[in-house]
Chains A and B, each alone.
Chain A
Amino acid sequence: MATLLSRAEKSYIITSLTSKPPLRHDGRGPVDYRLIGLARGDSVAPLANGSAKIRVGGTEVVAAVRLEVEDIDLELDEGRMRCNVTCSPAAYPHLSANQQDDIQKDLTSLLQSTFSPTKSHDSNGDSFTSVMSKSLTILPGRKAWTMYLDAVVLSDAGNVHDVLFLACRAAICDTRVPRTRAVEYAQPSKGSSTRRAGETGGEMDVEEEADIWKTAVQSKRAARAADFELEDTADEGGWLEGRERCPVAVTLNVLPTMHILDATHAEEQAVPLKLVLIYSFATISTQKEGEFMGMRLLGPGQVPMAYLSGLIQEGETYAKQLVSALNVQMEIK
């Protein structure tokens, strides 16, 4: 699988793809995906807060989300996200350790920049990241969940970007955030304490006894709250807010006249240019446009600018289909 193709083989693949009708060696149409296998939750990583495994053909990625309580400073009062991608050495047996490292770093930075863009980037108020990170807040300005998204590429038989994003999306959608409530010590009211200290002449403050101990266990609001507690230790917690917005990637393998989706390893080698498009959708049912979150052009080929915008348009359609298919599987409304 991992062998390098000769020029003749590449040429054969390209010729058959560009013929009419286009031919792929596994008999798929140009925009057909291979069968997507999904497993998630306890059967993947029961100790994680959310996890999923996606298998598309021979490409297999496991992703898991782990939440950790961290102290945050006042400026950044929301939860953060840290992404990390590891490639199993078996995924790229023909590459040296350094080259594997490069792939890992490349994929990691793609995930990190998509899910946790730097502040200045984040102009849009209700992007997935900003909505999500709000639900990671425990005590505003003091404590928040930091989300660790770890993905492992177990094997790569082509189209690793799409599969990686699918796995991450599934894992994030599978994530439940333990419910917490803020705990605050409320200063008992003033009047009663002076009375206790001894008022002269029998004159008594008519403060209600109950008021002295007015306590405040309020959720998420208390700015002065010092600590939090778990509402229910046996409860897995609630879904991440805005999880349906979690983005997917669609890789268009561009040939001069057409493009194919979900390229196999051999096809990837033959096709000169890959266009990775990342989309997020608020809700599928409303025909609202998706949010275009990122793009990568990979490979030695070229593409004219005019042609590119058409590709982006088409990419959105594919992405929408992919998301709705996944949402059905994940039981997301």
Chain B
Amino acid sequence: MATVIAMRKRPRGDPALIQRKFFKKTAKGKVIKVLRERYLRDDIPCGINECPYCITQQSRPLSLAVAARHSDYPAGHYVIPDTNIFLNQMDLMESPLFDAPLIVLQTVLEEVRHRSIPLHNRLKSLLRSEDRPCFVFYNEYREDTAVQRKDDESPNDMNDRAIRSAVAWYRHHIGQISSARNKGQPVPRIVLLTDDVANRRHAQTEGVEAVSVSHYVQGSKNSALLLDLLAAGAGDGDQGDKAKSSAIYPEHMSSIMINAGIKAGQLQQGHFNANDYNYLEASTAPQIYSTIDTFKGTVRVAAFPKPVLVVGRQNMNRAMHGDIVAIEVFPETEWRSPADAVVDQDEALKNDDADDTEAEGGDDLEAQEEARIATKLRDGSGKVKEESPTGRIVGIIKRNWRTYVCHLDPASLSSSSETSTSVQAVFAIPTSALLPRIRMRTRQAPQLLDQKILVTIDRWDSTSRYPEGHFVRSLGKVGGKEAEQEALLVEYGVAYGAFGKAIQDCLPPEGDSWVVPPKGHDIWKDREDLRDVLICSIDPPGCQDIDDALHARALPNGNIEAGVHIADVSHFVHAETPMDSEAAARGTTVYLVDKRIDMLPSLLGTNLCSLRPHVERLAFSVIWELTPEAKIVNVRFTKSVIASKSAFTYEEAQIRKDDQSLKDPLTQSIRLLNSLARNLREGRMRAGALNLASPEVKIQMESSESSDPIDVKQKEQLETNSLVEEFMLLANISVAKKIQETFPLTAVLRRHMPPPTTNFETLKDILMKIKGLKLDVSSSGALASSLDLCVDSNEPAFNTLVRIMATRCMLSAEYFCSGNVPRDTFGHYGLASPIYTHFTSPIRRYADVLVHRQLSAAINHAPLHASLHSKDYVERILNNVNRRHRMAQMASRASIEFYVGLAIQSRAPNEAGGVREEAYVIRTFRNGIAVFVSRLGIEGLVTFKHEIEYDAEAYAVTLPNGKKQKPVSLAVFDKVTVKITVEKDTTTQRGKVRMVLVSPVNSEAL
């Protein structure tokens, strides 16, 4: 396809028009001068199909024959939005209801890119979409529309002028087109869409038609629906109002000041973590934490070992969970200990009125709370708990705003009649308790009342108590399984769309009928034939993506050959294909209770790469020669072809192994594997591996077809579970060693950093004070053995409880690129292995795919793709995988929680009864306790309305027990019985698990 482009000579004598010079300050603080040359042309097309003047090979998306859909422009029109429209009103522009033909100017496109990359990407995909008439006009390259900066003109003014000049040119051009075609027809109008009053005024004087967004939308066909999409603050009247209201929050510092402060060491930078027990307290520092009882949070920053505490709305200064913030740490005399009261946001904020930003309702409570804390600090000054660094947030470096799943606060509705279509300011309550309520205006409030909706935050001014946002779309009815499921995926940023065509095209064309070709085919090159080996797989019941299989057989010399065979995903997924990039972006398969969101198309995951029994499959094998004591004699790695003889569930394998009557070779090999696994496990435990408990529960469905849960079961651990686990660990460790040897700079490894000992301080203190037990956290081995000693003969669950609490003190494991961290930090703390990676689940984890590629190169099977030689590339990919992994975990946990809720409901349909369960106290607060219900694997909060006696030192609360009896004291680890009900909170519509203490004291009265 030859494209003819007429090259024009560069005009001489006017360097200013063709050269663009600017200075740039680099990250290192250098200033460089950048020179751009542009070649102006007179043949940049206008994109209008009927235009006889512009020559272009491209298809022209815009046509004069567009129907008039706007009351103001009966002859048809084109919309040219300015930059701020895209920056502020992207949801509106993306809406299928907003169907006006768009002309996007190059100036606008570039400005959007400079201002926000995510918005730029959205704009680009909007331009690509085929159902919208959109055209990009390269105005800066056309002679007639190119502008030159004037003296004393700011870049913004210049861009505005460039936009206006392009609009003026279009107006002229379209006049020419229509007069060339047909004299009599009305000429479509060119409309500049801008919310900038000054720009509109300039446009008027220059004879350019310009309107504001709200004005434009009011006249368009679907105005009622579109007006909701309008981001807050659009329109003309708003400026005046804002000036009147006084600032509630301190202003944020400008980014340059923040940078200066951070460089000078006066400010710290960190992630803001809202504290979910207490939303007024937060911290920052290497890490920041905040909670809501008096608005608190924490920020973990590098300068302090402990997270920095941020207390109070003012100090939190509009930071939201996940934002990267700049924090100023107070002098040490003003440090405080993390708050010990629980504040329920819903309670504290009940009185706020969405319409009135200055409502003082919430303030009283907050003020009380703050005063209480203050007095408390004073009273107990002698025995104040250890203080945390405390500070305040002075600026937001990066917002973590995204689309939030919310529902409307019915109390904030002023008129709830179904028919009302007037605009109302309402509060949207995010599902996540870490977020404040979002104020938004909508015409559809009554219809949205029982819906899960998506809301985007637009801004949070210092004059507004709450962030302001707008409605994006509705997910469905609250409590509906579909809506809840989708809400969950949105909330955790899981990409759940179907795989696109480009990705499907990467699959083998044979599809389902793909089989391993007969020997002699290229695939067999350097591949071992292990089809005759007795290989089997052991997985949970119902597993479709079988990515590992095992075998073991006795060797004549008395040793044992054991093999782990992993699906050869890298044979199908090649680097830098659409499928590869999609998998890299997804990072991991996400498992929800009744849904699996695949990382790879299901043809691979559940068929071609699934090591099903009795089918030949490609595999990547790790084969050891082990002594009967499970010492490795040697190990080799090879690509292979296997045919699994059987796919067992854990239970089947267990039964088979235990059934002494069975003597067939397959059973023998399971026994062989089991004895090795036991040795391996012992070896690991000796080396100091931790056995950490996490509350894993299983949702029991009514039947395999129905997705209605009926019960929750604790997951059972069989011997065969640990059999598979041990061999997977062994394979991962062996592979890690190999790829680290071969690619010391870019090997994909996994590590688990030892937790800082400060993390354990509270737990140690609790154990010491309440149980008189010592916790030695000096090393993983020491911790493992001291955890073993944490037993209470009266309370068998105590040990598990301590383990669960210890697990929470740990850091999470992460993938990393071996060249980017010091060699001595490679270790895996939990497994007590000096090196570790993930090799065994390439179908559902992307890191494993990379490891497969590296291992395959390490054994000279295939050359390593160039990208895997780049530290930066590997690091970037792994960062994403780490993040996705975390999100996936949270999503599946949330999914389980949701189903636990459903299960509780189904077990106790009558709300009054609820479910009674045993629970253990895990934290105490001034006005409540946090309990853990081990049978359901959930945590809950029991709050007391009345003041109770609270002893922070002893981690205990004392509850009055009626008038006659003695008060009862409750401390951490005490067993209680709680009544669990799921109630739809009348104000929030949130399906809320509510726990009430039943024994030793009934807390309903408290």
Contacts and interface: CB of A to CB of B under 8 A. Distances in A.
Interface string A57-82: 00000000001110000000000000
A213 B315 CA distance: 12
A183 B334 contact: no
B264 A185 contact: yes
A144 to B, nearest CB: 12
A226 B29 CA distance: 11
A69 B32 CA distance: 9
B811 to A, nearest CB: 31
A213 B251 contact: yes
Contacts of B392: 193, 196
A157 B908 CA distance: 105
Contacts of B521: none
Interface in B245-301: 247, 250-251, 253-254, 256-261, 263-264, 266-267
Interface string A87-121: 00000000000000000000000000000000000
A171 to B, nearest CB: 15
Contacts of B808: none
Contact of B21 (A193, A197, A234): A234
A215 B394 CA distance: 11
A69 B30 contact: yes
A200 B378 CA distance: 9
Contact of A227 (B19, B154, B263): B263
A220 B764 CA distance: 53
Nearest to B28: A69
A185 to B, nearest CB: 3
Interface stretch (B369-377, B399-407, B713-721, B742-750): B369-377
A198 B378 CA distance: 10
A315 interface: no
Given A183-B260, A198-B374, A226-B264, A213 B253 contact: yes
A300 to B, nearest CB: 46
B265 to A, nearest CB: 9
Nearest to B16: A42
A185 B250 CA distance: 16
Contacts of B382: none
A149 interface: no
A212 B374 contact: no
B33 interface: yes
Contacts of A226: 260-261, 263-264
B31 A230 contact: yes
Nearest to B390: A197
A233 B334 CA distance: 42
A43 interface: yes
A185 B327 CA distance: 12
A9 interface: no
Nearest to B155: A234
B330 interface: yes
B388 to A, nearest CB: 13
A215 B253 contact: yes
Interface residues of B, number: 47
A230 B253 contact: no
A64 to B, nearest CB: 12
Contact-size category for A? 35 or more
B328 interface: yes
A42 B336 contact: no
Interface in B360-405: 370-371, 373-375, 377-378, 390, 392, 394
A178 B30 CA distance: 12
A299 B662 CA distance: 111
Contacts of B254: 215, 217
**Which residue, of B31, B253, B328, B377, has the highest number of chain A Cβ atoms within 10 A?**
B31
Interface string B294-315: 0000000000000000001011
Nearest to A184: B260
A183 B373 CA distance: 37
A26 interface: no
A229 B22 contact: no
B653 to A, nearest CB: 61
Given A183-B260, A196-B315, A209 B33 contact: no
A209 B374 contact: no
Nearest to A231: B23
A331 interface: no
B70 interface: no
A301 interface: no
B365 to A, nearest CB: 16
Given A193-B392, A197-B330, A198-B374, A67 B31 contact: yes
A29 interface: no
Contacts, number: 104
B367 to A, nearest CB: 9
A187 interface: yes
B5 interface: no
B886 interface: no
B41 interface: no
Contact of B24 (A47, A183, A233): A233
A185 B31 CA distance: 22
**Which residue, of A188, A202, A227, has the highest number of chain B Cβ atoms within 10 A?**
A227
Contacts of B502: none
A68 B19 contact: no
**Which residue, of A46, A178, A233, has the highest number of chain B Cβ atoms within 10 A?**
A233
A130 interface: no
Contacts of A46: 15, 19, 21, 35
B29 A69 contact: yes
Contacts of B15: 42-43, 46
A197 to B, nearest CB: 4
B149 A234 contact: yes
Contacts of A47: 33, 35
A225 interface: yes
B374 A187 contact: no
A49 interface: yes
A224 interface: yes
Contact of A230 (B25, B154, B266): B25
Interface string A203-243: 00000010011010100000011110110111011000000
B334 A194 contact: yes
Contacts of B259: 183, 227
A213 B258 CA distance: 12
Contacts of B260: 183-185, 225-227
B264 A199 contact: no
Given A67-B31, A178-B31, A213-B394, A193 B334 contact: yes
A156 B394 CA distance: 62
A69 B334 contact: no
A185 B314 CA distance: 20
Contacts of B373: 198
Contacts of A229: 25, 256
A155 to B, nearest CB: 25
Contacts of B378: 200
A84 B352 CA distance: 70
A233 B22 contact: yes
Contacts of B394: 188, 213
A218 to B, nearest CB: 11
Contacts of A232: 154-155
A193 B331 CA distance: 10
Nearest to B149: A234
Interface string B26-68: 0001110101000000000000000000000000000000000
Given A47-B35, A198-B371, A230-B25, A213 B264 contact: no
Given A226-B264, A230-B23, 14 more contacts: A185-B267, A193-B330, A193-B392, A197-B374, A198-B336, A202-B371, A213-B394, A225-B260, A226-B260, A227-B29, A227-B263, A233-B24, A234-B22, A234-B23
Interface of A: 42-43, 46-49, 67-69, 143, 178, 183-185, 187-188, 193-194, 196-200, 202, 209, 212-213, 215, 217, 224-227, 229-230, 232-234, 236-237
9 contacts: A42-B15, A46-B15, A47-B33, A68-B31, A185-B267, A196-B314, A200-B378, A215-B257, A229-B256
What 3 pairs across the A-B complex have the smallest Cβ distances? A185-B261, A198-B374, A226-B264
